[in-house]
Amino acid sequence: MNRLDRYIARSLMSATLLAWVVVVALEGLFAFLGELGDIGRGQYGWQDAVLFVLLSLPAKAWLSFPMAVLIGTLLGLGNLAALGELNAFRLAGCSQMRLGLSVLLSGVLMLIIAVPLGEGVAPVASQSANSLRTEAIFNDVAVHGDNGFWVRKGREMIHVRRAEVDGSLSDIEIYTLDEQPQIVTAAR
């Protein structure tokens, strides 16, 4: 990267970061407002709602990244154009192709920085958020494992081995317990 690439990347990345923070903050606010209806159900309080929203933010940030890059790139290039810097680059002998390449390089750099968030942090945080919310609202014991998850509701233990992307569940086992607790009935 030469000086021009670094200058354009710094301008675009700062505008993108600003756009990303604003978009994620708005999504977090709307997510919290959506959780207000569940506050008071079971043991789900406002602290749980705040924690749920905070743990959901990495996934929301990852999903809003392309939009933030688009908005940030437009803001950054607009700022460079408003200050006459794009014209100065052109007068200094920089072609439009070279300026486009600088913009592309900064986009690739932003993607390299954001991928660990979307592929590493977001799935773990989302799973923790969903477990926290489910346990607080339904007062159930939910355990996630490699072969599905277990949920306890009163005297019933439910084991779900497969959850499909469309939300359907399959390979479900239901166990009813007595007071000891020992299995009284089992159904598949």
Tokens of 69: 């890059």
| Domains held by the chain: number | 2
pLDDT at residue 77, rounded to an integer: 95
Instruction: For 22, list phi and psi in degrees, rounded to 5.
Output: -65, -45
Domain check: are 44 and 121 in the same one? yes
User: Which carries the bigger pLDDT value, residue 114 or residue 184?
Assistant: 114
How far apart are alpha carbons 151 and 161 in whole angstroms? 11
Question: What's the angle, vertex CA 169, arms to CA 165 and CA 146, rounded to 5?
Answer: 80
User: Which carries the bigger pLDDT value, residue 146 or residue 68?
Assistant: 68
In this predicted model, what pLDDT tens digit does every residue of 128-142 receive, in sequence order?
888 888 778 766 556
pLDDT at residue 150, rounded to an integer: 79
Domain check: are 20 and 104 in the same one? yes
Q: Is the pTM of this model over 0.75?
A: no
163 band by pLDDT with thresholds 50, 70 and 90:
confident
Domain check: are 59 and 85 in the same one? yes
Domain check: are 127 and 164 in the same one? no
pLDDT at residue 149, rounded to an integer: 77
Domain check: are 37 and 123 in the same one? yes
Domain check: are 44 and 116 in the same one? yes
Mean pLDDT calculated for residue range 72-78: 96
Domain check: are 134 and 155 in the same one? no
How far apart are alpha carbons 158 and 187 in whole angstroms? 10
Domain check: are 80 and 170 in the same one? no
149: exposed, middle or buried (Cβ count in 10 Å: 0-12, 13-18, 19+): middle
Number of H helices, E strands in the chain: 5, 5
Domain check: are 29 and 85 in the same one? yes
Q: Which of 104, 122, 139 delimits the end of a domain?
A: 139
Domain check: are 108 and 180 in the same one? no
32's CB contacts (< 8 A; 6+ apart) are: 49, 50, 53
User: Which carries the bigger pLDDT value, residue 147 or residue 81?
Assistant: 81
Domain check: are 107 and 170 in the same one? no
Domain check: are 42 and 131 in the same one? yes
Q: Show the domain range for 126.
A: 3-139
Residue whose pair of structure tokens reads 């505008």 in the numeric block: 15
In this predicted model, what pLDDT tens digit does every residue of 20-65 receive, in sequence order?
999 999 999 999 999 998 888 888 889 999 999 999 999 999 999 9
For residues 110 and 16, the answer to whether their CB atoms sit within 8 Å is: yes
